[in-house]
Chain A
Amino acid sequence: MAGRIPLVLLACGSFNPITHQHMRLFELARDHMHQTGLYRVVGGIVSPVGDNYGKQGLVVSKHRLAMARLALQSSDWVSVDDWESQQADWTETVVTMRYHYDRIAAQYHNSKDPPTASDVPQLKLLCGADFMDTFKIPGLWRDDHVEEVVGRFGLVCVSRGSLQPDRAIHESDLLSRHRQRIFLVREWVHNEISATEVRRALRRGQSVKYLLPDSVIDYIREHNLYTQDSEMKNKDVKLRPLTMQTIQD
């Protein structure tokens, strides 16, 4: 793996709750980036969104962080970071990315002497194909932010179900311009298990065993998360990024 660019993968999201599917994203992305022959994945970060995001059914970040930590206990390269969830207000993805990039770069500068530009790991955003489609939702993303996330950092996008991320790229001039910075990972196994489905099953008293780690299931039972009531949280609240944009206009 000598001569390869070191790479850290950052996944932002609700992780409400974290599932095996989320953890699969990391595994698939790592395999893919290694197989390009260009990269050496040195770390993975799970960054759960803050409570102010305002998404319906979002349980408090304290629980989402605890569940993610339990799930990733046995992982030797992916860890959970609470910076984003600790911020006072919701932070844009690009802000989170800048924070982590600066933090990682600082670590490298402190540890190596003299540091070379090629030693500092790159940071890319890891996401599912549904994420790509959110770029076109009006008011959800600022253009200059998308430019930075894709153009400066880069995306590793894992396909999901029937969603075609290459179509989303094709339909966006901005994304097309940065095509080389977008890595599409094809998930050949059709798998629609999502946190939404997990929450639905939990509400209905159905088993979610083998969809999440046992430790996370136990945590959910212990704290009685994910009920009819929890799903109603933020029901009439607008997503924070949408309210933020209108204020700035």
Chain B
Amino acid sequence: MAFLRKLRRVDYHEHTLNTSESRMITPETVWVTQAYSGFVPQHWYQDKTAFFLYDPCHHKRKPEWCCWHVGPSTPSQTCTCGCSSWLGITLKTLKKEIHTHLEQHVTRTRRYRVVKGIISPVGDSYKKKGLIEACHRLEMARLATLNSDWITVDDWESQQPEWVETAKVVRHHADLISSENNSDDVDTVRCGKRRKLEQNTIICQSSCNINTKEDSPHLNLLCGADVLESFGVKDLWKPEDIEEIVGRYGVACITRCGSDPEKFINQSDVLYKHRKNIHMVREWVTNEISATHVRRALRRGQSVRYLLPDSVVRYIQEHSLYSVESEQKNANAILAPFQRYTSSN
């Protein structure tokens, strides 16, 4: 990689702009960028996060074209598309080839920097069976995230007098983020459900017009595959809410054993339409520890140590939470969304 640093960016800028599309590419035509900083032929790439490199060291044998993807740390080679036949091609063909590769790659692996994570416990008026008071749930969440440097707990949702739709919660936090982003020019922003900040750190020191200002942080709803699939349950979600959450904001969905979220996305028109905003996080190692299981173990006097942080286990013991009685709470109540949406029908 050392040879790359010696190349001056300004040369390539001129090359790329002045070369006609039908000109043959030769070893002397160096369409190269430096890996960490540099110029991206803006008119070739839409997302400004990829470069392509022609490795002149190879020009005596085979020229090699590599795509380099810029990330927060060292760039990684995304694809190599090179062979001797490249020498005979024109810029136009090459652009098309690279662009296809990059488009595929970029849709697969966009670069984000997660700046914050927020746990927002639901309010008591949700009326789920076995749901204990929000004050306890908030405190346990706070204890659990005490030594996390990026995850925090937010009580806005649980403090509302009535149950709040998820879309409203997402909207609330998104508005909070953008107002904070506008008010200060520091690049770290507080608050937000799950945020993604588009990495746009191409530093260009020569004359080029790449925009290096950081975009406002995005907000994504983080959930398990079961929540995504719950979008299909009648009267549980308002269709316009689903549209807003996936269309306007975005979802990061962690797969769980037994569900096939991709199939579900495919079967739902609204999810399919916004599939680019749904980020699947594949959990390769199955881990099915659930709150339901934990509550069951607690009811039966079994140990839940090492399933939850010790501080939360202690809190539960101190306050005698999760008994047979607590599990019967809301047993005959109707879940808040069902109540709200069926009565309005």
Contacts and interface: CB of A to CB of B under 8 A. Distances in A.
A189 B293 contact: yes
B302 A31 contact: yes
A189 B306 CA distance: 13
Given A190-B257, A214-B147, A197 B306 contact: no
Contacts of B303: 27-28, 30-31
A11 to B, nearest CB: 14
Given A188-B293, A190-B257, A161 B306 contact: no
B288 A197 contact: no
A191 B305 contact: no
A214 B305 CA distance: 15
B207 interface: no
B288 A193 contact: no
Contacts of A193: 285, 287
A74 B310 contact: yes
Contact of A20 (B148, B286, B302, B306): B306
A205 B75 CA distance: 15
Contact of A23 (B285, B288, B290, B306): B306
Contacts of B288: 189-191
Contacts of A192: 285-287
A24 B302 contact: no
B289 interface: yes
A197 B147 CA distance: 23
B307 interface: yes
Interface string B140-169: 000000011000000000000000000000
Given A189-B288, A189-B289, A24 B306 contact: yes
A27 B286 contact: no
Interface string A160-202: 0100000000000000000000000000111111100100000
A24 B307 contact: yes
Interface centre among B147, B148, B257, B305 (most CB of A within 10 A): B305
Nearest to B301: A31
B305 A23 contact: yes
Contacts of B302: 31
Contacts of B257: 190
Contacts of A28: 303
A67 to B, nearest CB: 15
Interface string A6-30: 0000000000000011011001101
Contacts of B285: 192-194, 197
Nearest to A22: B306
Interface in A14-72: 20-21, 23-24, 27-28, 30-31
Interface string B240-261: 0000000000000000010000
A190 B290 CA distance: 10
A20 B289 CA distance: 12
A27 B289 contact: no
A190 B293 contact: no
Interface string B261-297: 0000000000000000000000011111110010000
Interface centre among B147, B285, B306 (most CB of A within 10 A): B306
A176 B179 CA distance: 69
A191 B306 contact: no
Nearest to B288: A190
B161 to A, nearest CB: 34
A27 B287 contact: no
B147 A191 contact: no
A191 B310 contact: no
Contacts of A21: 306
B306 A27 contact: yes
B41 to A, nearest CB: 31
A53 B303 CA distance: 33
A93 to B, nearest CB: 24
Contacts of A194: 285
**A-B pairs with lowest CB-CB distance, top 5:** A27-B303, A20-B306, A190-B288, A192-B286, A23-B306
21 contacts: A20-B306, A21-B306, A24-B305, A24-B306, A24-B307, A27-B305, A30-B303, A161-B286, A188-B293, A189-B289, A189-B290, A190-B257, A190-B286, A190-B287, A191-B287, A191-B289, A193-B285, A193-B287, A194-B285, A209-B148, A214-B147
Interface of A: 20-21, 23-24, 27-28, 30-31, 74, 161, 188-194, 197, 209, 214
Given A27-B305, A197-B284, 6 more contacts: A20-B307, A21-B306, A23-B306, A27-B303, A190-B286, A194-B285
